[in-house]
């Protein structure tokens, strides 16, 4: 069996960023810049497909955007006024190159490239059906399921075929496509994953996050709405709403951890949201201490909020090496343990003899917190109080954020007191789910109709987990290991 990354062999996780440009002579260069700004959403592979009015050209590769798109020659070969691009965190091993997006296919109506951020929850089932009907899959990615559904649709136009395909799909997805006529953007009916529209002079931009608009000097226009398809052509933006209306459930973890703090999502600045969550945390879980120290970088805004609300001084008691990637995204446990030490170092001068409040955004397996608490103690801290700016992560995400299996989540095994003991802290507290909603400007979490997807904290999954319920924990089993 081919192993697939940092957790278990049959899990295949995707964390991705998508970007697209229509109507600019340097579409591919702008897309490469946009992907740079989205690099935090996936660091294992990057790809761009461009269209010049006559032909599509593509370049994809393993590694960072800068590993693949720094050369002038590569960008010059990606000619045209339109381009789409993708960054992803995917698997390791030799099978992975065929999964690198954007995927491209020639259809009856012409060429179409697509890439997506998210995860389909019935793609195993759909793949089985398609293979039975004769589809030959080249990759293990969800995106290819969408391509085959488009290919087998009996509808006429690109948009009708796409809609037909997506009506069969369950899951969370933000998709960007490029046909011969249009740049296409769409979000799933609940709008779980983000996608925004921008404008740069006469050109239109689509991006997972608004921070990538800033990097190219584009203006933010609006979020693509939940369940909306936008077709962007020479005539501008055409909006379609082919799905039954549903209450929006944007992913609250984008605000807590995943998005860049300089992005604005669904009307909220990510940075401000994180600070407000830190303030809530200080109100809910105060503690007498000398200093508030963030676990950088993701803990910084929440720690600022905690310090402001509590009046306890904020110090950078831990320094991060910026040339090491996110520890969570390392392939093996051994490397992950090593990675934490490579990434953070204690700033002894600000910790020695102090009662320290450490602020981080989440505890997943507990690896980071355990290492950091130990590091802070070794630097001479008298007391270490851990404060987490999310509720306990007790359930895995099936909608596009990489999380380990449930039994590997610390919060599914232990209560808060036992977790505190596990990580070696004098005390541990998480912001409550109600506190999180208050920080997001909601009076409370409405049971039965919460404003956000918070399944990782509540187990309330808003989109059916069809494959998981059929015993298929993840849909993208390796083709080499599985006959479907």
Judged by CB under 6 A, does residue 144 bind ligand AMP? no
Judged by CB under 6 A, does residue 82 bind ligand AMP? no
Judged by CB under 6 A, does residue 328 bind ligand AMP? yes
CB of 367 to ligand AMP, least distance (A): 4
Would you say 31 or 43 has its CB closer to ligand AMP?
43
How far is residue 85's CA from residue 50's CA, in Å, rounded to a whole number? Answer: 9
CB of 402 to ligand AMP, least distance (A): 5
**Binding residue for ligand AMP (CB under 6 A) from 150, 401, 420, 440?**
401
Judged by CB under 6 A, does residue 68 bind ligand AMP? no
Judged by CB under 6 A, does residue 363 bind ligand AMP? yes
Pair type for strands 383-388 and 355-360: parallel
**Binding residue for ligand AMP (CB under 6 A) from 174, 208, 368, 474?**
368
CB of 339 to ligand AMP, least distance (A): 10
Q: What is the CA radius of gyration of the chain?
A: 22
Would you say 295 or 453 has its CB closer to ligand AMP?
295
Please tell me what DSSP assigns to residue 314.
Answer: B
Judged by CB under 6 A, does residue 295 bind ligand AMP? yes
CB of 155 closer than 8 Å to CB of 164: yes
Q: Nearest-5° angle of CA 232, CA 238, CA 241?
A: 120
HSE, side-chain direction, 13 A CA sphere, residue 6: 22
Tokens of 422: 């596990």
CB of 223 to ligand AMP, least distance (A): 22
From residue 212, give the alpha-carbon distance in Å to each of 9, 71, 182, 436.
33, 20, 21, 26
Judged by CB under 6 A, does residue 298 bind ligand AMP? yes
Judged by CB under 6 A, does residue 373 bind ligand AMP? no
Residues 97 to 136: which contact ligand AMP by CB under 6 A?
A: none
Judged by CB under 6 A, does residue 361 bind ligand AMP? yes
CB of 131 to ligand AMP, least distance (A): 30
Judged by CB under 6 A, does residue 399 bind ligand AMP? no
Applying CB under 6 A, the span of 42-50, 225-233, 323-331, 465-473 interacting with ligand AMP comes to 323-331
Tell me the three state secondary structure of residue 353.
Answer: coil
Is 16 part of the annotated catalytic residue set? yes
Applying CB under 6 A, the span of 103-111, 228-236, 360-368, 431-439 interacting with ligand AMP comes to 360-368
Applying CB under 6 A, the span of 95-103, 263-271, 398-406, 468-476 interacting with ligand AMP comes to 398-406
Applying CB under 6 A, the span of 136-144, 152-160, 348-356, 367-375 interacting with ligand AMP comes to 367-375
Tell me the three state secondary structure of residue 98.
Answer: helix
Judged by CB under 6 A, does residue 367 bind ligand AMP? yes
Could you tell me where the DSSP H helices lie in 133-175?
A: 142-152, 158-167
Judged by CB under 6 A, does residue 402 bind ligand AMP? yes
CB of 360 closer than 8 Å to CB of 295: yes
How far is residue 446's CA from residue 365's CA, in Å, rounded to a whole number? Answer: 29
Applying CB under 6 A, the span of 4-12, 34-42, 193-201, 397-405 interacting with ligand AMP comes to 397-405
Q: Nearest-5° angle of CA 117, CA 121, CA 122?
A: 120
Q: Which of 16, 115, 211, 456 is catalytic?
A: 16
CB of 264 to ligand AMP, least distance (A): 21
Place of tokens 């860049």: 260
Please tell me what DSSP assigns to residue 53.
Answer: S
Q: For residue 391, which of 450, 448, 478, 336 has the smallest C-alpha distance? A: 450
**Binding residue for ligand AMP (CB under 6 A) from 69, 257, 399, 461?**
257
Q: For residue 209, which of 185, 193, 225, 232 has the smallest C-alpha distance? A: 193
Q: How many other CB atoms are there within 10 angstroms of residue 335's CB atom? A: 12
Judged by CB under 6 A, does residue 23 bind ligand AMP? no
Tokens of 418: 């036992």
How far is residue 271's CA from residue 84's CA, in Å, rounded to a whole number? Answer: 27
Tell me the three state secondary structure of residue 419.
Answer: helix
Tell me the three state secondary structure of residue 40.
Answer: helix
Judged by CB under 6 A, does residue 208 bind ligand AMP? no
Would you say 75 or 425 has its CB closer to ligand AMP?
425
Residue numbers annotated as active site: 16
List residues binding ligand AMP (CB under 6 A): 257, 295, 298, 326, 328-329, 360-369, 401-403
């Amino acid at each position: 069996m081919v192993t697939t990354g940092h957790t278990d062999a049959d899990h295949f996780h995707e964390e991705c960023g998508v970007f697209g440009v229509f109507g600019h002579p340097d579409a591919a260069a702008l897309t490469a810049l946009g992907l740079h700004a989205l690099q935090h959403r996936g660091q294992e592979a990057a790809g761009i497909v461009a269209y010049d009015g006559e032909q599509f050209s593509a370049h994809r590769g393993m590694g960072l955007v800068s590993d693949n798109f720094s050369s002038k020659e590569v960008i010059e070969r990606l000619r045209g006024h339109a381009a789409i691009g993708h960054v992803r965190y995917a698997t390791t091993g030799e099978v992975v190159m065929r999964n690198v997006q954007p995927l491209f296919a020639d259809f009856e109506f012409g060429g179409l490239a697509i890439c997506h951020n998210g995860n389909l929850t019935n793609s195993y089932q759909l793949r089985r059906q398609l293979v039975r009907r004769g589809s030959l899959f080249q990759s293990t990615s969800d995106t290819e399921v969408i391509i085959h559904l488009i290919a087998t649709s009996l509808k006429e136009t690109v948009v009708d075929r796409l809609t037909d395909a997506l009506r069969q799909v369950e899951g969370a997805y933000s998709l960007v496509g490029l046909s011969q006529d249009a740049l296409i953007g769409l979000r799933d009916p609940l709008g779980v994953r983000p996608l925004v529209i921008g404008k740069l002079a006469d050109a239109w931009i689509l991006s997972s996050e608004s921070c990538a608009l800033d990097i190219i000097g584009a203006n933010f226009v609006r979020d693509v709405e939940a369940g909306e398809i936008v077709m962007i052509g020479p005539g501008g933006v055409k909006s379609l709403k082919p799905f039954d209306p549903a209450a929006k459930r944007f992913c609250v973890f984008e605000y807590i951890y995943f998005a860049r703090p300089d992005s604005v999502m669904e009307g909220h600045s990510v940075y401000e949201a994180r600070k407000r969550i830190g303030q809530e945390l200080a109100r809910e879980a105060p503690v007498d201490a000398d200093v508030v120290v963030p676990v950088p970088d993701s803990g910084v805004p929440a720690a600022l909020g905690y310090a402001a609300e509590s009046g306890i001084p904020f110090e950078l008691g831990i320094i991060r090496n910026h040339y090491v990637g996110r520890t969570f995204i390392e392939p093996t446990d051994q490397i992950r343990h090593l990675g934490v030490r490579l990434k953070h170092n204690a700033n002894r001068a600000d910790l020695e003899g102090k009662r320290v409040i450490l602020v981080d955004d989440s505890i997943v397996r507990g690896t980071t917190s355990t290492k950091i608490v130990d590091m802070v103690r070794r630097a001479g801290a008298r007391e270490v109080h851990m404060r987490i700016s999310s509720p306990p992560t007790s359930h895995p995400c099936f909608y596009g954020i990489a999380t380990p299996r449930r039994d590997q989540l610390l919060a599914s095994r232990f209560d808060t007191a036992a977790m505190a003991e596990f990580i070696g802290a004098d005390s541990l507290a998480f912001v409550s789910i109600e506190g999180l909603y208050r920080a997001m400007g909601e009076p409370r979490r409405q049971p039965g109709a919460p404003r956000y997807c918070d399944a990782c904290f509540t187990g309330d999954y808003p989109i059916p987990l069809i494959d998981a319920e059929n015993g298929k924990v993840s849909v993208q089993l390796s083709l080499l290991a599985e006959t479907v």
